[in-house]
Amino acid sequence: MNAIEKLTEIFGKFPGIGSRQAKRFVYFLLTKDRLFLENLSKNLLSLKKNIKVCGFCHRFYQSEISRSNLCRICSDKNREVETLMVVEKDADLENVERTGVYNGRYFVLGGVVPILEKNPEKLVRVNELLSLIESEMKNNGLNEVILATGVNPEGDNTRSFLMTLLKKSKEKKLKLSTLGRGLSTGTELEYSDAETLKSALENRH
Ligand SMILES: [Zn+2]
């Protein structure tokens, strides 16, 4: 395998990137000078150096000088601690955050549960979620969990899996809600605009 093929294979593993697009990236890089490529490799190599995983929401964040193991959102005292929004991935959280329509806290599942999956707990952070909910209800008065997964077959499956699981747990006082009709079929949180998210949140049920 030559260098072009090798790099094409790597880019082909990126989410949403097919082999044709992967090849375009490679040819794009071939048109760039040495400085551009060096800068790219340098940034790739340092990407994980200053990145931590938040101890509460599990998203990736740039660790600052502080020793805290919490991201900026989770260490913010002004966030409402009664509501927890469960999202599939970091990009969803970032988009909801960008729209500014939500002031509670988040939990990043780290994926979806495919239909007929036998071991969901191996794919998403189910156990972490359950213990977080339990301790937050006890210590911070958490009373609502918003299951904000995508409106597509895998997102639906993930939502109903979590719903069943959380209903089964002894936490009867917990309100479970899902985003309302504002979100149309095929919607991913990552790409929703502020208006859509706002109405989906207001209409949650
Ligand atoms: Zn966090």
What SS3 state is found at 73? coil
- What is the rounded distance in angstroms from the CA atom of residue 142 to the CA atom of residue 81? 6
> 60 CA distance to ligand 1 centroid (A)?
8
pLDDT for residue 152 = 87
Question: Distance from the CA of 53 to the center of ligand 1, in angstroms?
Answer: 8
Write out the CATH class of domain 52-202: alpha beta
121: tokens are: 């707990």
Q: Tokens at residue 100, please?
A: 């500014």
List the pLDDT tens digit at each of the 205 positions of the chain. 899 999 999 999 998 899 999 999 999 999 999 999 999 999 999 888 888 899 999 999 987 656 788 999 999 999 999 999 999 999 999 999 998 999 999 999 999 998 888 888 888 999 999 999 999 999 999 999 999 998 888 999 999 999 998 888 766 788 999 987 667 666 778 888 888 888 888 888 8
Q: What is the pLDDT of residue 2?
A: 93
* Torsional class of 110: left (φ above 0), alpha (ψ -120 to 50), beta (otherwise): left
* 89-97: long-range pairs with CB below 8 Å, 24+: 89/190, 90/59, 90/60, 91/190, 92/148, 92/150, 92/188, 92/189, 92/190, 93/57, 93/59, 95/189, 95/190, 95/191, 95/192, 95/197, 96/148, 96/189, 96/197, 97/73
The alpha carbon of 111 and the centre of ligand 1 are apart by a number of angstroms equal to 17
The whole-number pLDDT of residue 82 equals: 95
For the chain, give every residue range classified as CATH 1.10.8.420: 3-46
Please name the fold of domain 3-46: Helicase, Ruva Protein; domain 3 (1.10.8)
- Report the relative pairing of strands 144-147 and 175-178 from DSSP bridges: parallel
Tell me what pLDDT residue 170 has.
Answer: 61
| CA 176 to ligand 1 centroid distance, Å | 21
Q: Is 138 helix (H, G, I), strand (E, B) or coil?
A: helix
Q: Determine the distance separating the centroid of ligand 1 and the alpha carbon of 11, expressed in angstroms.
A: 29
Q: What is the pTM of this model?
A: 0.81
Q: What is the pLDDT of residue 157?
A: 93
How far is the CA of 191 from the CAs of 12, 82, 181, 196, in angstroms? 22, 26, 16, 10
Between the CA of 59 and the centroid of ligand 1 the distance, in Å, is 6
Q: Where in the chain is the domain with CATH 3.40.1360.10?
A: 52-202
For residue 83 the two structure tokens come to 């509501």
SS3 198: helix
